């Protein structure tokens, strides 16, 4: 029986698996999770949790488990996992697809400050806060907060699915625990109630967290947008239908 390994941990991966199960009900699907989220939303399939031991370990797994195709549907910012997937697939001779949500595109009235990484995002905040204190809405994930610890003229509101460890948080940060999707009107109310001056965001794509971008646009609020890391070379699609077609072509 053909077996497909999906590297997931995202809503996109879950939606893809459900669509794949509908299109190919007899297909065996294994979902691999890094294990960083303590209460992930999971589809009904075989679940594997934890790392593989880099590209070499993943390559061994692909061969030993007889994986027919590998689909990398991890978060667009999981650059190391995507790179390992591409390398492992080549070594094992396993077809590999990267399923990646399209980026958000800057629109009129968007006030974006582009940053190549989190360190550059922190520099933007440092510059913006030179003339007056800022209340910053940090929506970059609890593992990416360290570069913002040193900012002296910023107060942070951190939104996270899970409670960050105290050591992960910038000094004095306030934590809001919530899981998307978030609607534009709710995000606008949140930004006003918390007197947010600027948002820091990943360019995650998709609809679940786009409400904050729409709200910032309507409020003319600046957004420090952290650009995505580059994807490894290989086959890339941005929608479920294309991914289903790709997998279907590897099952015969």
**CATH code (residue 238):** 3.40.50.720
Cα 189 to the center of its chain, rounded Å: 24
CA distances from 203 to 5, 16, 59, 77, 206 (A): 26, 21, 30, 9, 9
Query: Are 165 and 180 found together in one domain?
Result: yes
* Whether residue 35 has pLDDT greater than 90: no
For 77-91, letters b (16+ CB in 10 Å) and e give bbeebbbbbbbbbee
* Whether residue 252 has pLDDT greater than 80: no
Query: Are 143 and 68 found together in one domain?
Result: no
Query: Are 116 and 218 found together in one domain?
Result: yes
Query: Are 136 and 80 found together in one domain?
Result: no
Q: What is the pLDDT of residues 63-89, one digit of tens each?
A: 999 999 999 999 999 999 999 999 999
Q: Which domain holds residue 10?
A: 3-102+230-249
Q: What is the count of structural domains for the chain?
A: 2
Q: Residue 249: count other Cβ atoms within 10 Å of its Cβ.
A: 10
Strand pairing class (46-49; 111-115): unpaired
pLDDT band, residue 210 (cuts 50/70/90): very high
Query: Are 137 and 30 found together in one domain?
Result: no
The mean pLDDT value of the chain amounts to 93
**CATH code (residue 171):** 3.40.50.1980
- Residues constituting the chain: 252
Query: Are 202 and 239 found together in one domain?
Result: no
Q: Which two tokens stand for residue 12?
A: 């996109």
């Amino acid at each position: 029986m053909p077996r497909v390994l999906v590297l997931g941990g995202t809503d996109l991966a879950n939606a893809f698996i459900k669509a794949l199960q509908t299109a190919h009900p007899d297909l065996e699907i294994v979902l691999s999770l890094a294990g960083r989220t303590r209460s992930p939303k999971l589809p009904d399939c075989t679940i594997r949790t934890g790392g593989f031991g880099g590209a070499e370990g993943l390559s061994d797994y692909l061969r030993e488990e007889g994986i027919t195709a590998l689909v990398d549907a991890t978060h667009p910012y999981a650059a190391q996992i995507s790179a390992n997937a591409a390398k492992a697939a080549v070594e094992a001779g396993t077809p590999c697809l990267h399923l990646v949500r399209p980026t958000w595109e800057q629109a009129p009235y968007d006030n974006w400050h582009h940053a190549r990484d989190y360190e550059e995002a922190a520099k933007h905040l440092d510059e913006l806060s030179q003339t007056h204190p800022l209340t910053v809405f940090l929506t970059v994930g609890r593992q990416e907060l360290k570069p913002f610890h040193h900012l002296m003229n910023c107060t942070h509101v951190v939104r996270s699915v899970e409670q960050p460890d105290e050591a992960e948080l910038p000094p004095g940060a306030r934590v809001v625990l919530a899981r998307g999707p978030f609607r534009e009107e709710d995000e606008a109310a949140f930004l006003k109630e918390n007197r947010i001056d600027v948002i820091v965001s990943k360019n995650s794509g998709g609809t679940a967290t786009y409400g904050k971008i729409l709200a910032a646009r309507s409020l003319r609020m600046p957004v420090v947008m952290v650009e995505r890391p580059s994807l490894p070379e290989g086959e890339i699609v941005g929608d479920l239908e294309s991914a289903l077609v790709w997998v279907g072509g590897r099952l015969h």
